[in-house]
């Protein structure tokens, strides 16, 4: 069966530049190394707790791609739960209807704003057909050689993720949050007619920034050559 590999990274750009200062005895080099590449593919999934979320009955509730409705407002295509888990929440019919309407509108906007969902309306999402944002990183290295007779001392300063050092908005490594729809229960009826009921949390972030990979770091190395 043909499909998109989880390791698929179709585009990558690499630029490496080194400048050597024009003096002979005190050698000085400055190197810049840039890498930009496509984000990793992923699949928006349904999930659940207490044995819920296994929409295709394969024994796992963490690997089921979602169905993308033509319209999130159409209850024949997708249903949302109006019941809140918050203690003391208003559970009246009016409050539940309002909660459902907010989820419908939010999910409709989410589909419209997400290209991989927008182009697959009316069918189950193809595996690995969504993609995380491009990543950009740059490394700079400054090397200074200090001659000591027939020996030398070398000092090197490396700056990892220079882009983030220039701006806190650059050089971020962002990964997707693929768990999109929480399966909370089913409508009454047989397995052929029953519909899953979901909960959509519009406040949940679409992506998570991995801090260790996204912040700049400095490294100082000293070598004595003899």
For 54-90, write each residue's pLDDT tens digit.
777 777 777 899 999 999 999 999 999 988 777 777 7
pLDDT digits (tens, 9 = 90+) for 174-209: 999 999 999 999 898 887 788 999 999 999 888 999
Tell me whether residue 7 is in a domain: no
3-state secondary structure of 103: helix
Strand partners, 14: 35
Round the average pLDDT of the chain to a whole number and report it: 91
- For residue 30, give its domain range: 12-225
Q: Which of 119, 114, 99 is nearest to 207 (CA)?
A: 114
Please give the full DSSP string across 27-83, using - where no structure is assigned.
-EEEEEEEEEEPPPEE--EEE-STT---TT-SS-SS-EEPEE-S-TT-TTT-EE---
Tell me whether residue 5 is in a domain: no
Task: Tell me the percentage of the chain whose pLDDT exceeds 70.
Answer: 99
Tell me whether residue 6 is in a domain: no
Tell me whether residue 4 is in a domain: no
Domain count, the chain: 1
Tell me whether residue 52 is in a domain: yes
Q: What is the pLDDT of residue 31?
A: 97
Q: What is the pLDDT of residue 13?
A: 97
Q: What is the pLDDT of residue 164?
A: 95
Tell me whether residue 211 is in a domain: yes
146 close to 26: Cβ distance less than 8 angstroms: yes
* 217-226 mean pLDDT: 92
Has residue 1 got a pLDDT over 60?
A: no
Please state the pTM of the whole predicted model: 0.82
Q: What is the pLDDT of residue 39?
A: 93
Tell me whether residue 153 is in a domain: yes
Tell me whether residue 3 is in a domain: no
How many beta carbons lie within 10 A of that of residue 41, not counting itself? 21
């Amino acid at each position: 069966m043909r499909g998109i590999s989880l390791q698929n990274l179709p585009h990558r750009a690499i630029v490496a530049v080194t400048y050597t200062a024009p003096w002979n005895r005190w050698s000085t080099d400055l190197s810049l190394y840039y890498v930009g590449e496509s984000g990793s593919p992923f699949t928006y999934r349904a999930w659940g707790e207490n044995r819920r979320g296994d929409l295709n009955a394969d024994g796992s509730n963490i690997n089921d791609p979602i169905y993308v409705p033509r319209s999130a407002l159409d209850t024949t295509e997708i249903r949302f739960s109006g019941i809140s888990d918050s203690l003391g929440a208003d559970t009246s019919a009016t409050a539940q209807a309002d909660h459902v309407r907010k989820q419908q509108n939010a999910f409709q906007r989410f589909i419209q704003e997400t290209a991989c969902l927008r182009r697959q309306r009316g069918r189950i999402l193809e595996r690995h057909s969504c993609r995380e944002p491009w990543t950009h990183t740059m490394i700079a290295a400054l090397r200074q050689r200090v001659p000591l007779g027939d020996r030398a001392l070398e000092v090197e300063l490396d700056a990892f993720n220079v882009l983030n050092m220039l701006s806190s908005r650059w050089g971020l490594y962002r990964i997707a949050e693929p768990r999109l729809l929480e399966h909370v229960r089913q409508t009454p009826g047989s397995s052929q007619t029953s519909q899953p009921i979901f909960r959509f949390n519009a406040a949940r972030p679409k992506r998570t920034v991995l801090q260790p990979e996204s912040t700049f770091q400095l490294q100082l190395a000293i070598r004595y050559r003899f």
